[in-house]
Amino acid sequence: MTYKETDSNLVYSPLWWHKCGLQQTASGYGSKLTTPYKVEHNGRLYRVYSVCWSNSGALYILPGGERLYLSDSNTFRPEE
């Protein structure tokens, strides 16, 4: 597993179905679930995806097509 090392802020950028309260799969589980957030990495915003099976999940982005996992210690949601 490769983790994103630098600090990042989450940007709320929902898709139309997020705004309608819909979810991507009927069960809520999957390996590439689209979240309503983006995060900056190397000067570019990337969509944040989630892998969720059972009751455990992890967040990641796909720079260059490879998973780069986000850790709680360096990803911040700006105060609203």
Would you place residue 77 in the very low, low, confident or very high pLDDT band (cuts 50, 70, 90)? low
pTM of the model: 0.81
Burial class (CB in 10 A: 0-12, 13-18, 19+), 31: exposed
pLDDT of the residue at 14: 92
Question: What are the residue boundaries of the structural domains of the chain, listed by start?
Answer: 8-76
Give the least confident one: 3-7, 10-14, 18-22, 39-43.
Answer: 3-7
Q: Which two tokens stand for residue 71?
A: 């850790």
Instruction: Give the pLDDT confidence of 21-48 residue by residue, as tens digits.
Output: 888 888 888 999 999 999 998 889 999 9
Q: Which residues contact 23 (CB under 8 A, 6 or more apart)?
A: 17
Neighbours of 69 (CB within 10 A): 13
pLDDT of the residue at 73: 61
Q: What residue spans of 1-80 are helical by DSSP H?
A: 16-19
